[in-house]
Amino acid sequence: MVRTPLTEEQRYRGRALGQTLREARGARSAAQIAAESGVPLDTLRKIERGVIAMPAFFTVAQLARVLDLDLATLADDMLAAGDADHAVAS
């Protein structure tokens, strides 16, 4: 199966999500968040770096729960980040 390449907007949103999760983690280690959420450490690190630009919904939901982030607000923020990036690029 051939995967459709990500758009620049999708990659930007992925980087924004990673930054938001890193900031929400604060002083806690990535290993601690991975253990609490059930998300593999390697996956968490890739999301935080933006390597996984479009993580699965339930992965993000697990992380949001552990990081005490409101999932609806997180989604709104990421959509707004992509919209802002698109407006700047136009």
What is the per-residue pLDDT across 28-47, written as a single tens digit (0 to 9) for each? 999 999 999 999 999 999 99
pTM, entire model: 0.85
pLDDT score for 84 = 67
> Which two three-digit tokens encode residue 52?
């996984």
51-54 own/partner pairs: CB under 8 Å, 24+ apart = 52/14, 53/6, 53/10, 53/11, 53/13, 53/14, 53/15, 53/17, 54/6, 54/10, 54/13, 54/14
Measured between alpha carbons, how far is 81 from 79 in angstroms, rounded to an integer? 5
